[in-house]
Amino acid sequence: MTTNEKKIFSAMVEKTDHPLYYVPLVWAGTLVSRARKEGRIRDDFAVKTIMDELNNLRIKINGLISYDWISIPLVYTQVVSLAVYTFFVSTIMGRQFLDPKQNYPKNNIDFYFPIFTMLQFFFYMGWLKVAESLVNPFGEDDDDFEVNWLIDRNIQVCCVCF
């Protein structure tokens, strides 16, 4: 980023609270157009390829910002947690065996290990934990992406090169 571009960017940052990730991409598109006019890029196909890549980068950055900006409402996670836990409490109560000493009519002894109930438990609890991690995918846990570190590193690499 040149000194003049930094001044323009700083002035834009002061005027708005919205992310300005697209401004350097617009400048890069302008440089590509200028390079084509000056003959530094030989054909229009190369210009289109570069512009498509810049557009893909803009789309991916926009998606990343929207994941960080728009969070899942808290009530969704509460409802899912309540539904899963209620299901398992009712399953524990509903799938108990009947005591054969009570002589219930047409009662077979059903002492068994509930394999499918255990599989349901593991799958549903796994899905619940995945859903909880989706609330903040770029969080502070050890398993989460360290987005801030990646951004800081990329900024440092860019500043060292220029």
Write out pLDDT tens, residues 57-81: 988 888 877 776 666 677 777 888 8
Count of CB atoms within 10 A of residue 40's CB? 10
Predicted local distance difference test score (pLDDT) of residue 32: 94
Closest of 68, 49, 76 to residue 131, by C-alpha = 76
The counts of H helices and E strands in the chain are 6, 0
Element (H, E) at 116: helix 115-134
Largest CA distance in the chain: 95
pLDDT at 33: 93
Instruction: Report, as ranges of residue numbers, the positions in the chain whose pLDDT lies below 70.
Output: 68-72, 96-100, 107-112, 135-146, 148, 156-162
**What pLDDT does residue 52 have?**
95
The full set of domain ranges for the chain reads: 3-70+145-161, 74-134
What pLDDT score does 162 carry?
Answer: 45
pLDDT of residue 64: 78
